[in-house]
Amino acid sequence: MTERTLIKNLAAASDGPISVSGWVETVRDQKKVQFVVLRDESGAVQLVHPRVFNDDGTPAEDAIAETISGLAQGTFLTAGGELKHDERVKLGGVEIKLDAIDIAAAAIPETPIAEDSSGDKRMDWRFLDLRVPKNALVFKIQTTFLHALRTYWVDNDFIEIHTPKLMASASESKAELFEVDYFEGKAYLAQSPQFFKQMAQPAGFGKIFEVGPAFRADPSFTSRHATEFTSVDTEFSWIESHEDVMKVHEELLVAGFQAVKDKHGDEIKALWDIDITVPTTPFPRVPLAEAKRIVAERGYEVPRTDDDMDPEGERQISAWAQETYGHEFVFLTDYASSIRPFYHMRHEGDPSLTNSYDLIFNGVEISTGAQREHRVDVLIEQAAQKGLDPEELDFYLDFFRYGVPPHGGFGMGLSRVLMLMLHLPNIREATYLFRGPTRLTP
């Protein structure tokens, strides 16, 4: 057979000999002609085989026909034949008249999942679930989105780092940490790269980014939580306030959304009936206290007493931002120091508030960012106030004993962004292989 051609390139190819490879999606085995829809990672094409008959009208010996009749959905094969452009063919305006089939791996006839299978069943058979074009598109979008973020970082002189995921002590608290055996002692899976990305600041890196795994021992069963997720992190020096961090954050997201819209906008519209909106800058910014007043005026009282915003409050303030500004994003700023980590810088003159923010997208928090406290004496005091033992944080505090510039950054959950961008019902849909309190396979 000739060299393999991706199905997406068939429309631009000339009529004549062609070879394609992929898996069988459907078979129509008719008396006079057989049709096979073959799909690869780029698209689908119709294969055609007219049956062969003897002069007396009886079926002739036909190896290709016998092979097609025995094909099960999901079988991987290579097909060779004559490419023909025909606008009457609904599937891409082309078809291939078969002259050879080479089966690479036959599938068993029984299919364990269907379109209406439950989410758990689909996750059990995720490799089959991802053959569905709509489900696979999520990860093409993810690739485009991350490439755009990385292009922004690199073009703006950020340095990529890869921080360790095994830690000797907690980065924030031990409440949501997975503890693992580590030779003769214990280690923890990192819930964020916070300490290590800050270490790059006294190292003189200036601006850094990382895309990597993070782990939270949080027994939540909501549509937006996972025990392992991909965290998108940025940290950089020489800032004046968290406003500088928000500016970089929104510029990154604009770059990512623009790239997704440009490359996948039409396909997203066709499969999800969603128009990707590239956000305008600046994003709306609302202090948390004011956001709570706005939500109360909309008829919802945030019940929490810990100075935070609850999920319904996030949905309400997001709806307000959409109604007021036509914006899918809103920054909530000036969170209370009582609920923020010890390393968040506090307001000058009002230590009850921090130079921090949460970013809400379509009603769900996707990120926390802040200006960090860079004065070691203040860090020690704030850690003690949180009940942390400064001696256990000595390796971290050493970063600040040898000079560190004012700096800040954020961490953002990648799957949450994709879930909300595409209006998916659950973070599992936007995760290649989901990990939750009751799922460790496949």
Annotated binding residues for L-aspartate: 172, 216, 368, 372
Q: How far apart are CA 248 and CA 236, in angstroms?
A: 10
Q: How far apart are CA 362 and CA 383, in angstroms?
A: 34
Interstrand relation of 43-50 and 94-105 (parallel, antiparallel or unpaired): parallel
User: What are phi and psi for residue 39, nearest 5 degrees?
Assistant: -120, 140
Q: How far apart are CA 99 and CA 13, in angstroms?
A: 18
Q: How many residues does the chain have?
A: 442
Q: How far apart are CA 96 and CA 82, in angstroms?
A: 5
DSSP 322-362: HHHH--SEEEEE--BGGGS-TTBPEETTEEEEESEEEEEET
Instruction: Judge contact between 54 and 60, C-beta under 8 A.
Output: yes
List, as residue ranges, the binding site for ATP.
Answer: 365, 413-416
DSSP 438: T
List, as residue ranges, the binding site.
Answer: 172, 216, 365, 368, 372, 413-416
Cα distances (angstroms) measured from residue 225 to each of 218, 233, 414: 8, 18, 12
